[in-house]
């Protein structure tokens, strides 16, 4: 009798973990969040069982409640956990040597950046070692429209998605943002001055995966007195674009 109970408990533990992972996968595919009813249907569990698993994930910070009542989405700790895992995986392994090479070549700090909701996460860094430079952003999250990384990654979303996301802005601001995004798509690079602070320039080029989806950006951050217009056009932008193409190729991206 005891052996049977032990086996039953062991089976239950495996199923619970499996169901928790399924919930996290569903949430990872739906940035806007998913309701409890929808999650219950996807994992084929009772509402109570799904709720209990979600409460455990909530307590660990892997899941958080969305802005809308009854909606769940991935929590910040999921990003932190992913960052730790990625240190041993291909994304950072592929990107880090490229970041370091760019930092040496351009003598400016260069980052691997990704989107997290309406923020940009500075995931990895190539440190230039300059005595005069901006404060390190490694591991920090900043609003996406304050910097080139957020703009270049968001510029490839459809116009409808952008307008829904930023509908709180006035129509004139949205038109201006729409025009800026069109220019970024045309040039393949975003440049922002002052969004991260007075005298701070950010320059970013998108990274794509094998499906062509934008999955991140290579982003240079430097002081305006070094990141000058002539240097941008002749040195910085061509170097970032070449490196972004190289990294995208490692993720299987083949331009049409």
This model's pTM is above 0.85: no
Report whether 223 contacts 133 (CB < 8 A). Answer: yes
Tens digits of per-residue pLDDT, 192-208?
999 999 999 999 999 99
The SS3 assignment for 170 reads coil
Report whether 195 contacts 82 (CB < 8 A). Answer: no
| pLDDT, averaged in runs of 10, over the chain (256 residues) | 43 70 83 86 88 89 79 76 54 86 95 89 89 85 93 86 70 82 94 94 94 92 94 96 93 80
What per-residue confidence (pLDDT) applies to 217? 96
What per-residue confidence (pLDDT) applies to 171? 65
CB atoms within 10 A of CB 66: 18
Decide whether 2-74 matches 83-250 in CATH topology. no
> Please, where are the H alpha helices in 62-143?
76-86, 90-106
88-103 residues labelled b (16+ CB within 10 A) or e (exposed): eeebbebbeebbbebb
What per-residue confidence (pLDDT) applies to 88? 44
Q: What is the widest separation between alpha-carbon atoms in the chain?
A: 79
- With 0-12 CB in 10 A as exposed, 13-18 as middle and 19+ as buried, what is 236? buried
Token pair, residue 132, equals: 């005069």
What per-residue confidence (pLDDT) applies to 5? 46
Q: Measured between alpha carbons, how far is 129 from 131 in angstroms, rounded to an integer? A: 6
Token pair, residue 131, equals: 């005595």
Token pair, residue 24, equals: 């996290």
Tens digits of per-residue pLDDT, 53-95?
999 888 888 888 876 777 898 876 766 666 555 444 566 778 9
CATH architecture of residue range(s) 2-74: Orthogonal Bundle (1.10)
What per-residue confidence (pLDDT) applies to 225? 94
CATH of domain 83-250: 3.30.450.40
Q: Measured between alpha carbons, how far is 29 from 122 in angstroms, rounded to an integer? A: 21
User: Which strands, in side-by-side order, build the sheet including 71-74?
Assistant: 34-35, 71-74, 63-65
| Degrees, nearest 5: CA angle 213-21-66 | 70
> Please, where are the H alpha helices in the chain?
2-28, 36-43, 47-59, 76-86, 90-106, 148-154, 159-165, 171-187, 229-231, 237-250
What per-residue confidence (pLDDT) applies to 2? 43
What per-residue confidence (pLDDT) applies to 131? 82
**Domain layout of the chain by residue ranges:** 2-74, 83-250
Q: Measured between alpha carbons, how far is 9 from 3 in angstroms, rounded to an integer? A: 10
CB atoms within 10 A of CB 4: 8
């Amino acid at each position: 009798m005891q052996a049977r109970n032990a086996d039953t408990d062991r089976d239950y533990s495996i199923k619970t973990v499996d169901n928790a992972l399924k919930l996290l996968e569903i949430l990872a595919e739906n940035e806007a969040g998913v309701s409890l009813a929808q999650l219950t249907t996807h994992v084929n569990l009772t509402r109570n069982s799904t709720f209990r698993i979600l409460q455990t994930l909530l307590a660990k910070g892997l899941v958080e409640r969305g802005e809308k009542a009854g909606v769940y989405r991935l929590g910040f700790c999921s990003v932190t956990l992913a960052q730790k895992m990625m240190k041993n995986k291909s994304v950072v392994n592929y990107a880090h040597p490229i970041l370091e090479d760019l930092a040496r070549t351009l003598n400016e700090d260069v980052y691997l950046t990704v989107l997290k909701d309406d923020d940009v996460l500075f995931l990895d860094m190539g440190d230039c070692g300059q005595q005069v430079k901006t404060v390190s952003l490694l591991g920090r999250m900043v609003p996406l429209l304050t910097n080139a990384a957020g703009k270049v990654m968001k510029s490839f979303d459809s116009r409808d998605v952008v307008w829904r996301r930023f509908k709180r802005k006035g129509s004139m601001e949205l038109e201006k943002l729409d025009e800026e995004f069109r220019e970024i798509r045309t040039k393949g690079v975003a440049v922002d001055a002052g969004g991260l602070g007075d005298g701070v320039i950010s320059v970013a080029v998108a990274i794509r995966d094998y499906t062509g989806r934008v999955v991140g950006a290579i982003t240079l951050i430097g002081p305006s007195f070094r990141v000058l217009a002539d240097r941008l056009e002749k040195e910085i932008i061509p170097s970032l674009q070449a490196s972004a193409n190289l990294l995208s190729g490692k993720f299987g991206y083949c331009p049409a």
